[in-house]
């Protein structure tokens, strides 16, 4: 049994953290309750999480006294620890200033002093606070319930050296069985002749019968005039155009073509093949660098700076598509026709989205809970595509290991209706590729 003292940012990141410490004792300093209260009126995910924490604690309060401790279903206990000014004496002079972080540390020191026989762990997502706690002799840890080791992230692609006759058989009959390898549904596979490395075959693993099948063939005029420039893009196009794959995740650095390929496939499936009623493209509203503050104008004018990267990609596709060249349609006309809709994620909660091809760009800025909210909006016949780069995060509450995009990749890798590709080769320009690798 251990004593876990929680910081405010843990509960604002995941309200369910109250129930994830199994048989251990969970201790919440009263200062944390005060800080949660300050966020409850925010009309964003942090505000919703703050309100949810308050509801959970209010329900637990009905079972007994929070200050005395309440038994949880997991076998552990939860209690709210009060703060007193005298606790500050346990801290060094540099940390005796009346600040929320220092008060929480003082309570943790008090718990350590009172329950010396029970190991204490201070859990916070604040790096500096973990350093302070460690300097005070308190074991400090990050909240890792939803963390994924980014170095071990499932890539969605594999290469195997096989006998030359296996490669020939694949090209001849259009499929091949492969044994002795652990493959996930819709995993992209490259079969390489062990005697001739240039003799290869690319396919996708079909989990239903254990066969490697060929990739989707791109028409001679491309997908909205876009052709895959490398093997990873060919893999991505296959998943994006496969109607049986309802969730596609594309992870990669800037310039690998994630968003462009997704929008091209979405336009193909909506405007050309009419498989889906509408292409819905969205992205979280997070600025890079210093925010410019409130923007003037109506809702469309306010959103234009945030959605401009999407507009740029759509215009590029329209300029290269022969049918659209003749009609001179811009993205606004596609929107007026109901084929394309571009909007922020702010208003997605509570919606049901049927028969749509939905692309969520910059998904690395979302928390696992926000990603769950988005995917659970999918109605019958809807396909969701998540794209992003885990190393370019603007959300202060997540990092490369705790963001919603990598979380989904790991959680869905064994599901037959999902597919993933990690893209590494930049194709935007020679300059962009060098910048992504050198800077």
Would residue 361 count as lying in a domain? yes
Q: Collapsing DSSP states into helix, strand and coil, what is residue 163?
A: coil
pLDDT (mean) for 409-429:
91
**Does pLDDT of 120 surpass 90?**
yes
332-to-36, 183, 268, 338, 361 alpha-carbon distances in Å: 42, 43, 17, 10, 19
How far is Cα 267 from Cα 222, in angstroms, rounded to an integer? 12
pLDDT digits (tens, 9 = 90+) for 43-78: 777 888 999 999 999 999 999 999 999 999 888 999
**Does pLDDT of 95 surpass 90?**
no
How far is Cα 46 from Cα 67, in angstroms, rounded to an integer? 26
How far is Cα 356 from Cα 278, in angstroms, rounded to an integer? 5
Residues 85, 222 share a domain: no
Q: Which H, E and C letters describe 214-282, residue by residue? A: ECCCCCCCCECCECCCCHHHHHHHHHHHCCCCCEEEEEECCCCCHHHHHHHHHHHHHHHCCCCCEEEEE
Find the CATH number of the domain harbouring 127: 3.40.50.1010
Find the CATH number of the domain harbouring 224: 3.40.50.300
Residues 231, 112 share a domain: no
Supply φ then ψ for residue 362, to 5 degrees.
55, 40
**Does pLDDT of 293 surpass 60?**
no
- What band does 195 get if pLDDT is binned at 50, 70 and 90? very high
Would residue 174 count as lying in a domain? no
Q: How many CB atoms lie within 10 A of CB 391?
A: 14
* Exposed / middle / buried, residue 149 (Cβ in 10 Å: 0-12, 13-18, 19+): exposed
How confident is the model at residue 22, as a pLDDT? 86
**Does pLDDT of 35 surpass 90?**
yes
How confident is the model at residue 294, as a pLDDT? 53
Proportion of the chain above pLDDT 70, given as a percent: 91
pLDDT (mean) for 93-119:
88
**Does pLDDT of 275 surpass 80?**
yes
Q: Is 285 left (phi over 0), alpha (psi -120 to 50) or beta?
A: beta
Contacts of 61 (CB under 8 A, 6+ apart): 70
Average pLDDT over the chain, rounded to whole?
86
**Domain boundary at 83, 108, 141, which?**
141
User: pTM (2 decimals)?
Assistant: 0.76
Residues 327, 434 share a domain: yes
Residues 226, 116 share a domain: no
Of 286-295, 302-311, 352-361, which has the strongest mean pLDDT? 352-361
Kindly tell me the sign of the dihedral angle through the C-alpha atoms of 403, 409, 414, 416: positive
Q: How many CB atoms lie within 10 A of CB 180?
A: 5
How confident is the model at residue 297, as a pLDDT? 62
Reported as type and span, the H/E element at residue 166 is: helix 164-173
pLDDT (mean) for 116-131:
91
39-to-11, 35, 214 alpha-carbon distances in Å: 11, 7, 52
**Does pLDDT of 216 surpass 80?**
yes
pLDDT (mean) for 67-90:
89
Would residue 194 count as lying in a domain? no
Q: Report yes or no: 177 and 146 within 8 Å, Cβ to Cβ.
A: no
**Does pLDDT of 264 surpass 90?**
yes
Contacts of 317 (CB under 8 A, 6+ apart): 224, 225, 226, 260, 263, 264, 267
Residues 122, 223 share a domain: no
**Does pLDDT of 410 surpass 60?**
yes
pLDDT (mean) for 95-119:
88
Point out which residues pair with 79 in neighbouring strands: 27
Minimum mean pLDDT range among 143-152, 296-305, 321-330, 404-413: 321-330
Would residue 326 count as lying in a domain? yes
Would residue 420 count as lying in a domain? yes
The number of domains in the chain is: 2
How far is Cα 327 from Cα 319, in angstroms, rounded to an integer? 11
84 or 189, higher pLDDT: 189
Residues 126, 261 share a domain: no
How confident is the model at residue 327, as a pLDDT? 45
How far is Cα 71 from Cα 14, in angstroms, rounded to an integer? 20
DSSP secondary structure string, 63-87? TS-TTT-EE-TTS-EEEEEP--GGG
CA triple 299-305-308, angle to 5 deg: 110
Residues 254, 401 share a domain: yes
Among candidate residues 339, 333, 327, 390, the one with its CA nearest the CA of residue 364: 390
Residues 222, 82 share a domain: no
Q: Report yes or no: 357 and 383 within 8 Å, Cβ to Cβ.
A: yes
Residues 223, 113 share a domain: no
Would residue 195 count as lying in a domain? no
pLDDT (mean) for 175-201:
92
How confident is the model at residue 290, as a pLDDT? 39
pLDDT digits (tens, 9 = 90+) for 321-375: 655 544 445 677 788 888 888 877 776 767 889 999 999 999 998 888 889 989 9
Task: State which residues form the domain around 19.
Answer: 3-141
**Does pLDDT of 217 surpass 90?**
no
Q: Report yes or no: 426 and 436 within 8 Å, Cβ to Cβ.
A: yes
**Domain boundary at 94, 114, 141, which?**
141
Residues 228, 117 share a domain: no
CA triple 317-319-323, angle to 5 deg: 90
**Does pLDDT of 186 surpass 80?**
yes
How confident is the model at residue 85, as a pLDDT? 84
Residues 247, 110 share a domain: no
Among candidate residues 252, 197, 182, 257, the one with its CA nearest the CA of residue 226: 257
Tokens of 19: 């129930």
**Does pLDDT of 299 surpass 60?**
no
pLDDT (mean) for 386-406:
86
Would residue 196 count as lying in a domain? no
Q: Which residue has the tokens 């819709």?
A: 186
pLDDT (mean) for 425-429:
79
Q: Report yes or no: 189 and 204 within 8 Å, Cβ to Cβ.
A: yes
Would residue 173 count as lying in a domain? no
How confident is the model at residue 130, as a pLDDT? 93
Residues 391, 293 share a domain: yes
**Does pLDDT of 433 surpass 80?**
no
pLDDT (mean) for 214-225:
87
**Does pLDDT of 212 surpass 60?**
yes
Q: Collapsing DSSP states into helix, strand and coil, what is residue 25?
A: strand
**Domain boundary at 114, 141, 168, which?**
141
């Amino acid at each position: 049994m251990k004593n876990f003292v929680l910081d405010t940012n843990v509960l604002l990141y995941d309200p369910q953290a109250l129930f994830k410490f199994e048989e251990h004792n969970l201790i919440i300093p009263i200062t944390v309750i005060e800080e949660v209260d300050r966020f409850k009126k925010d009309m964003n995910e942090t505000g919703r999480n703050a309100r949810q924490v308050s509801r959970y604690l209010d329900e637990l309060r009905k079972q007994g006294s929070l200050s005395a401790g309440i038994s949880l279903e997991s076998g552990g206990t939860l209690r709210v620890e009060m703060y007193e000014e005298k606790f500050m004496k346990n801290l060094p002079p540099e940390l005796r200033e009346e600040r929320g972080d220092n008060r929480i540390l003082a309570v943790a020191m008090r718990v350590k002093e009172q329950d010396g026989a029970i190991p204490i762990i201070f859990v916070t997502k604040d790096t500096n606070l973990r350093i302070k706690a460690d300097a005070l002799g308190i074991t400090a840890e990050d909240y890792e319930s939803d963390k994924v080791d980014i170095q071990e992230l499932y890539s969605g692609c594999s290469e195997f050296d096989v006998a030359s006759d296996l490669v020939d058989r694949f090209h001849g009959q259009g499929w091949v069985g492969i044994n002795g390898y652990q493959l996930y549904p819709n995993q992209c596979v490259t079969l390489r002749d062990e005697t001739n490395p240039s003799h290869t075959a690319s396919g996708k693993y079909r989990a239903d019968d254990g066969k490697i099948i060929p990739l989707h063939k791109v028409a001679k005029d491309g997908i909205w005039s876009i052709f895959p420039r490398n093997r990873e893009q060919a893999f991505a196009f296959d998943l994006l155009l496969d109607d049986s794959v309802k969730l596609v995740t594309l992870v990669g650095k800037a310039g690998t073509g994630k968003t462009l390929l997704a929008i091209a496939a979405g336009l193909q499936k909506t405007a050309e093949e009419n498989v889906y009623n509408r292409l819905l493209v969205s992205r979280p509203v997070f600025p890079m660098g210093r925010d410019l503050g409130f923007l003037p104008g109506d809702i469309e004018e306010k959103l234009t700076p945030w959605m401009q990267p999407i507009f740029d990609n759509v215009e590029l596709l329209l300029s290269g598509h022969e049918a659209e060249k003749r009609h001179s349609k811009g993205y606004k006309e596609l929107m007026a026709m109901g084929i394309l809709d571009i909007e922020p994620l702010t208003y997605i909660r509570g919606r049901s989205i049927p028969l749509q091809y939905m692309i969520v760009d910059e998904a690395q800025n979302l928390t696992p809970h926000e990603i769950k909210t988005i995917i659970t909006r999918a109605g019958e016949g809807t396909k969701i595509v998540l794209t992003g780069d885990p190393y370019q995060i603007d959300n202060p509450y997540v990092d490369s290991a705790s963001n919603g995009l990598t979380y989904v990749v790991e959680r869905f890798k064994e599901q037959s209706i999902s597919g993933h590709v990690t893209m590494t080769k930049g194709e935007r320009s020679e300059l962009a590729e060098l910048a992504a690798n050198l800077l």
